[in-house]
Structure 1
Amino acid sequence: MPRQGPSIKDLTQMINSVMGHQVLTEQQLQKIMAGAKIAHQKGGMNAVLEYLMHVTQADVDKNELRSFADSIQKNPQLGMDILQGKKNIRKK
Structure 2
Amino acid sequence: METNLIGETLDMSLYSSARYECEIIRGTTVIANGHVWLENLNGVGRARVGVFSQSHGVTFTASTSGTVAQLRAAASSGAGAGTIKLTRRLVPA
TM range (shorter): under 0.3
The alignment's TM-score, normalised by the length of structure 1, stands at: 0.23
Flag the structure with more relative contact order, 1 or 2, with Cα contacts below 8 A and sequence separation at least 6: 2
The alignment's TM-score, normalised by the length of structure 2, stands at: 0.23
More helix by share: 1
